[in-house]
Amino acid sequence: MRLICCHQLCLFILAAERNRGARGVACIACTISGIAISGPILQSAGRGDITPSSYHERNQHTTNMSTEDPACAAADLETDTADDNSEEEEEEEEEEEEYAKKVKSVQENPAFYTDAAAYWNNVPATVNGMLGGFAHINAPDICGSETFLQSIFKMKNAPGHGRAVDCGAGIGRITKHLLQKHFGKVDLVELCQSFLDRAKESLKNSHKVGEYMCQGLQHFAPDPSTYDVVWSQWVLGHLTDEDLENYFRRMARGLKPNGVIVVKENVTSSGIVELDEQDSSVTRPESLLLEIIDKAELRVIKNTKQNNLPKGLYEVKMLCLRPK
């Protein structure tokens, strides 16, 4: 997806901490990027914390017991700690289950797509808009993609340089700075007409651009044997799991011999799917992304981490896929 801030995880953690009665934590990345988190500015730490008053009560209770029987006091303290840990684990499991249900419910709602379209229709057609306020990562992003693409061209049975498609092209940032340098023709697929209009203006002097297609990726179906490379970056979180699998299958049919699908996406470190209700998207753990790829009868032939991005953002993985 184009919005790359990790604030959805931050919001989930804050909500969980509030439910526990803790004071919570504030996400440095979100604070820097100017994302407002509802509720008070929270100051202190995390999951195992207790309030000063309860700490005093427990400490007093322990002190009294230790005066009477130190061994008993130690045993009771160990029991209290084990019980607390068990309760916290149960609460965490319940919260994760409820959160997973919420994510599934949101994805099954048709508004998952209409809300995303409404969000992006109000985003400025600029590099900063495409990158969620992180325009400064444009250069390292393009540099990482250039290196990755060059490594693909060095493979045995490498794809050709004839035609590529930029899926979720936005204003044509990747086409302009990367794809048109390597392919005879590049098509752009983008849901927002205002972004495509900006791309046309930006690429008006390029003879490398083929078609501009205004449609969502859940509907994009290229003709068979059309593309050497299908490039999808920071956009697949706007597809449901089922639609993503079907998207991969259609892209595979659209590949020329030796063609590849390139995926460049954020992945979570939490092991769960994280929902961004602001732009109506999800960020998947790498394990789920790989599972969907496997279901779509694709194999991963390259898997590389994007380097030189600021701390506090999601890990970004670049995958090169081919049909099995």
Residue 260, SS3 per DSSP: strand
Are 164 and 182 in contact by the 8 Å Cβ rule? The answer is yes
> 230-256 as b/e, with b when 16 or more CB fall inside 10 Å?
bbbbbbbbbbbbebbbebbbbbbebbb
Q: What is the pLDDT of residue 82?
A: 67
Question: How much is the pTM?
Answer: 0.76
Instruction: State the Cα torsion 305-183-297-154 to the nearest 10°.
Output: -60
How far is it, in rounded angstroms, from Cα 198 to Cα 194?
6
pLDDT at 90: 86
pLDDT score at 74 = 62
Residues 6+ apart with CB under 8 A from 166: 172, 174, 175, 179, 186, 187, 188, 189, 231
Mean pLDDT of successive 10-residue stretches along the chain, which has 324 residues: 45 43 39 34 26 31 47 62 77 88 93 97 97 96 98 97 98 98 98 98 98 98 98 98 98 98 97 95 98 98 97 96 98
- % helix, strand, coil for the chain, step of 5: 45, 20, 35
Given this model, what pLDDT does residue 22 score? 40
**pLDDT at residue 75, as a whole number:** 61
Q: What is the pLDDT of residue 43?
A: 26
Predicted local distance difference test score (pLDDT) of residue 77: 60
